[in-house]
Amino acid sequence: MLLAKTSKELNVSLVFVAIFVFSLFFADLEISAYEPFLELGKFVTSLKDINFSSIDLLINAALQTIYIATMAIVFSAIFGFILSFYFGNIIVRTILAYTRAIHEIFWALIFLQVFGLSTMTALLAIVLPYSAILAKVYFEILEEYDTFDKKTVSKKASKVSLFFYTKLPNAFPHLVSYTLYRFECAMKSSAILGFVGITTLGYYLSSSFNEGLYDEVWLMLIIFYILIATIKFWFNKFTVLILFVISLIQMPLSLNSFSSDNLSRFLFEDIIPSPIKNDYTFMEGIDWFYKLFVNEIVPGVFNTIVLTQISLVATAVLALVLFPLISYRFVGKVGRFFSHIFLVILRSTPEYILAFLFLSIFGASMLPAVLALMLHNGAIIAFIIGKQSNEIEYVLDKSTHLNLYTYEVLPKLYNSFLAFLFYRWEVIMRESAILGILGVATLGFYIDSAIADIRLDKVVILLFFTALLNITIDLISKKVRDYLRAHNIALTCSCDLK
């Protein structure tokens, strides 16, 4: 982030590097495992010992992962498209901001209290945040393509006609592109819901991780990579309805596990703050919240910010190092092919799974979370910037690779790089919070502890502050992108990820 083309880019880069250095003083990055590299060696060498005896069970889990992701993205796209028309309303925008700021695993942990381990829990956990995300992005895309000349259309034309015949045709390819990208995200979300008990690939992955059966872990990861790598062949605008119908048949939306008593208890008892429920005096209530605020909210927010800022800069550095690997000006055809596979594997592996792996190897600290966030998000940004580097016109054709990188490629791509980096900032924050479930003392750690203690009133308050933190980061990110005049670049990049 130290090389920049303009003073604005340099100023922003230096500010975030300074925050990164400051955060290092408060970060726990120690390796606490007794022999971490021995465990890492076991994981790597177990690749040659893959056992296919459980392949039938895992294929069934993979299919359930697809079914949940398919239903979730279809419902999310429908709700998101409808909500995008009302996104300009401040109340709707605020509600959706809070909805998308809460990670799908947190939603799943909440809905488990009402629907149990069911398809409905998995669907609601994904559909709620994804509908809010799609509503926001759909709104931005439609707003971006509101460029028709009003003088060329009849004054008698209705708003509906103008929308369907002018705006939508121009925006539609980008709406489809982003929806397909969100399906890949839905596949990852569906998989990691297995870590809370839903029988997708993540369910068996977590069991194998805990038992040290790395050969089974490799088999599941390979199955997942194949699914992600082949998405464009089996999930597209021609197959989506067929897959949706098959998914509904295979995993019907049954409410057999739903209990009205559980819902009533959840709404009118479990989430009611303890001071209200137990008739505390005003001062007792203040004392209760003060202890929660000082002992859990403040350290949770602080550690989440520290983890996020370290991971953000680490992501930036990795992306700047990796993107030349898929650029034809730096690497040959064979090298680009294998580099492309390498980046696809990294960006296809959910941060939660990567963190779980590194936690098993290095022990409990912020290090596994930083590595997971850096590898996943760095690969995504490197993939996009690398593709863009193949589209620019080069002047220094005969220059050395170092000079070409430093004086031409990076200056031309740096604004786009920063734009997408800050577009991912909110995502990194969401993941930083949820990785607390694995033992890092972020907000997710305190939320998971409160759920384990059946203190859902504390969970609701902690989730409120989690969402508030994400919204704050999103607003700052937007301000930074506006300052760099890079908002449209980020939007275009996100739509072109596929």
Distance CA(152)–CA(321), nearest Å, equals 48
What string of DSSP letters covers 280-293? --HHHHHHHHHHHI
CA–CA separation, 185 vs 191, rounded Å? 10
Q: Which long-range contacts (CB under 8 A, 24 or more apart) does 372-375 make?
A: 372/431, 372/435, 373/307, 373/311, 373/314, 373/315, 373/428, 373/431, 373/432, 373/435, 374/311, 374/314, 374/315, 374/318, 375/318, 375/346, 375/349
DSSP secondary structure letters along 224-257:
HHHHHHTHHHHSSTTTHHHHHHHHHHHS----TT
Size (the chain), residues = 498
The structural domains of the chain, ordered by start, are 1-30+271-498 (1.10.3720.10), 52-262 (1.10.3720.10)
pLDDT at 490: 47
Residue of 349, 396, 395 whose CA lies nearest to 371 = 349
434, with CB counted inside 10 A (0-12, 13-18, 19+), is buried
Query: The tokens 């908002």 sit on which residue?
Result: 487
Between CA 207 and CA 204 the distance in angstroms is: 5
**If you compute the radius of gyration of the chain from its CA atoms, what whole number of angstroms results?**
23
Res 242: pLDDT = 93
Please state, in angstroms and rounded to a whole number, the distance separating the CA atoms of residues 379 and 54: 31
- Are 221 and 50 in contact by the 8 Å Cβ rule? The answer is no
Are 147 and 463 in contact, with CB atoms under 8 Å apart?
A: no
Which sign does the torsion angle of CA 445, 443, 350, 335 carry? Answer: negative
Computed over every residue of the chain, the mean pLDDT equals 84
pTM: 0.86
Q: How far apart are CA 23 and CA 359, in angstroms?
A: 21
Instruction: State both tokens at 11.
Output: 């100023």
Q: What is the pLDDT of residues 180-231, one digit of tens each?
A: 889 989 999 999 998 888 888 888 888 888 887 888 888 999 999 999 888 9
Q: What are the helix (H) ranges across 331-424?
A: 333-348, 351-362, 366-389, 401-404, 410-423
Alpha helices (runs of H) in 25-158, residue ranges in sequence order: 36-45, 55-84, 90-101, 104-115, 119-144
Query: 279 — phi, psi (to 5°)?
Result: 55, 50
- Token code pair at residue 484: 């760099």
Digits of tens for pLDDT over the chain (498 positions)?
Answer: 444 446 778 888 899 999 999 999 998 888 877 777 787 788 888 888 887 877 888 899 999 999 999 999 999 999 999 998 888 888 988 899 889 888 899 899 888 888 888 888 999 999 999 999 999 988 888 877 765 555 555 555 555 556 665 667 777 788 888 888 899 899 999 999 988 888 888 888 888 888 878 888 889 999 999 998 889 889 988 889 999 999 999 887 776 667 777 778 887 788 888 888 888 888 888 999 999 999 999 999 999 999 999 999 999 999 999 999 988 888 888 888 899 889 888 988 888 888 888 888 888 889 999 999 999 999 999 998 988 888 877 776 656 777 788 878 888 888 889 888 988 898 899 889 888 888 888 898 999 888 888 888 898 999 999 999 988 988 888 888 887 775 554 444 443 444
CA-nearest of 129, 136, 131, 127 to 87 is 136
Query: 252: helix, coil or strand?
Result: coil
pLDDT in tens, 304-358: 999 999 999 999 999 999 999 988 888 888 888 899 889 888 988 888 888 888 8
Q: Which amino acid is at 159?
A: K
Residues 6+ apart with CB under 8 A from 354: 368, 371, 372, 375, 376
